[in-house]
Chain A
Amino acid sequence: MPAAAGSGDAARVREIVDRVYRDDSRRVLATLIRLFGDFDIAEEALHDAFVAALERWPMEGVPGNPRTWLVSAGRFKAIDQLRRRVAFDDRRAELERQIEELSHEEPVIAESGDITDDRLRLVFTCCHPALSPDAQVALTLHTIGGLTTEEIAHAFLVPSPTLAQRIVRAKGKIRDARIPYEIPEAADLPDRVDAVLATLYLIFNEGYSATFGEAVTRADLCGEAIRLARLVVELLPEPEAIGLLAMMLLHDSRRAARTNDAGELVILDEQDRSRWNRSQIREGQELTERALRTRRVGPYAIQAAIAAVHADASSAGETDWAQIVAFYDLLLNMNPSPVVELNRAAAIAMRDGPERGLDLINALLARGELTSYHLAHSARADLLRRLARNDAALAAYAAALELTTQEPERRYIERRIKSLQG
């Protein structure tokens, strides 16, 4: 039943419209994209629908189901737009046929959690492997996350026009190459889910360890990645989706402790663990267990499990390193990679002493794959320092410094060098 609205309620209605926009605009957009098969028309229709809501809800009252109302209003607005366009377009017959179809078809609006939820189609379309990873990230944040091009450009430190161009090109490819707006068939689903998770992981990582620039973390991107991962878990609770969300939460829980008051980087061993976010840890650990229980464990769930072991320990020394090494063995088995080997070597150094870890890192570097990876040199330097081999440690820190582009990490290494010299 529509709520009664008097003239003094304009401000209250505005508040409601704002809230509906925050909570439901992406879902309305997802449905409009399905109805019109075109991102730009749908975005315009969404905008028009909210303008109409601001005009009419103060007089007519807030509808019982705002989402249905908005889809319906957006649909009428877009059909109007298309009608006006017909007069100027060569493809008149095609457009008229489309309008005819749209005018008669009643939109089906899926309930939340339903596999046919339009937002899930939208996720798969934005993360379609025929789009470049950059384009997937930009389109996902813009269309599903509702971020403006300026916000995304700022977060990724690229000029706004470049980012806007990226989105325009991606939408153009979806339209012109006809990338379908659908949930993949069962046979393709695992690969396609992997592609979606990889995109969310990229967004989280960009926020967590900015490649360039001043800030150690860009919390807004981490928060956005977590929000999107929650959505994917809600729509499609695959073990790896749950694992990825768990991993994000467990890493993000350390955010406050990763930098000190001066904005300097604090490594895991030296973090003030009382500053870790306990509610994120609790949720992350529960999700990790849920992912592990499925017995279809993938790399994200294992990385979450490693982070969960860290979260359990009151200090680096108290950490169950044997368990962490076991998880790295599992990960390596699944996903051989020199970076995972490096992390495993660091864990072995904690379990069996720095000498053992150093042997492994030296062997890794000798293979040549990690010679230009700054963290390999700084991990080696840390072990040499713990063995009191100061000259060798200094040389290794210098090699790491040479390769580091991120400001806070540079300053961290410089502090290490200074303390060894002093």
Chain B
Amino acid sequence: MTQEPIATALPLDAPSLDAPSSDMPPFDMPEYRRRQVARTRVMGLGLLALAVLIFFVTIAKMGLAH
């Protein structure tokens, strides 16, 4: 019975594919978090405004129906 080699594509001493290359700008974690938080806030406010709008639209339509 022959055993299949597990990983033959890269030699063991090859650099990791996940390692950042020297020409890549460093990842800006604070900026990433800032954008994420800002987007979450905008989305939250948008959904809140939408809920309020739908509520008042419903009230207005019920008023017109009567």
Task: Tell whether A and B belong to one assembly.
Answer: no
